[in-house]
Amino acid sequence: MKNLLVLILLLSMLISCNKSDDIKEIDIPVNNKSDNITKNSNGIHILIDAEKQNKIREEAKAKAEAEERGIILAEAEQKAKEDAKLKAEQKAKEDAKAKELNAKLSIDKFKLKYSDLWQIEKETASHIELKNVSGTFDFEITKMPASDLVPFTAYLLSSNKDYNQISKTVSAKFIGYISEGKYLDGSMGKIVTMAVEDTGIVIISINSKPEKWYLNSEIFDLMLDSLEINTE
């Protein structure tokens, strides 16, 4: 009987030891979802402190903001280029329209083409004045004889105290001079003196706002090229 009790006791102890070993072999799961846990090069989890986390977030935010600014800046530059192109194209169209000499005028034996963007302001038997928002064009037949072209031109240019001559050339198309200069008020101008047989000296001039001089100067030259003189 005693032997049976001893045997039962030994079996109980053996079973108890086996259960203890089973418990030791159970792994405790680890929550890997924490934002402040990462792994080093050896695969071991390490803790990231709050300051470093904030720095990482700030750097990511700064990078995102910089990328957004870069996109906005690129879009703005592209729009500026497109606007400048449209503006240049519109200006080219307007300039081309302004240089279309689609109207005519006559005075004495002279005929002249001009743009209908210019309006006739004054008209007499010896003088015509055209105007638009950026300048004034004058065509005047004087009573001075053609033989006095040189002294008359010198007097005309020197007596105009508001006009500072920049250049003066002899015309290759007619007998006369072409003077270009600047007025005291900042406007630009050209003055042409022309000797016409059996008529006298003709003065053709233009006065223009400086910002439109590049265009009005060319228009003036085109008008001058269109001049016809009836010699009959």
Q: From CA 32, how far away is CA 41, in angstroms rounded?
A: 17
Q: In the chain, what are the domain boundaries? A: 97-229
Beta carbons within 8 Å of 181's beta carbon, 6+ residues apart: 163, 164, 165, 166, 167, 188, 189, 190, 191
Name the DSSP class of 148. G
- Residue 32: the pLDDT is 47
The CATH label, of 3.40.1000.10, 1.10.150.530, 3.40.50.1820, 3.20.20.210, for the domain at 97-229 is: 3.40.1000.10
The yes-or-no verdict on residue 224 having pLDDT over 90 is yes
Of 136, 153, 165, 138, residue with least CA distance to 194: 153
Q: Which CA distances in Å does 21 have to 9, 10, 24?
A: 19, 17, 5
Residue 213 corresponds to which tokens in the numbers above?
A: 């001089």
For 152-174, the pLDDT digits (tens) are: 999 999 999 999 999 999 998 89
Q: Cα Rg for the chain, rounded, in angstroms?
A: 48
Question: 102 near 115, Cβ under 8 Å?
Answer: yes
- Residue 146: the pLDDT is 96
Q: From CA 84, how far away is CA 226, in angstroms rounded?
A: 34
Please compute the mean of the pLDDT values over residues 202-229 and round it to a whole number: 96
The yes-or-no verdict on residue 194 having pLDDT over 70 is yes
Q: What is the mean pLDDT of the chain?
A: 85
For 43-57, the pLDDT digits (tens) are: 555 666 778 888 888
Please compute the mean of the pLDDT values over residues 208-226 and round it to a whole number: 96
Q: Which CA distances in Å does 147 have to 87, 168, 201?
A: 50, 19, 9
Please compute the mean of the pLDDT values over residues 23-45 and round it to a whole number: 50
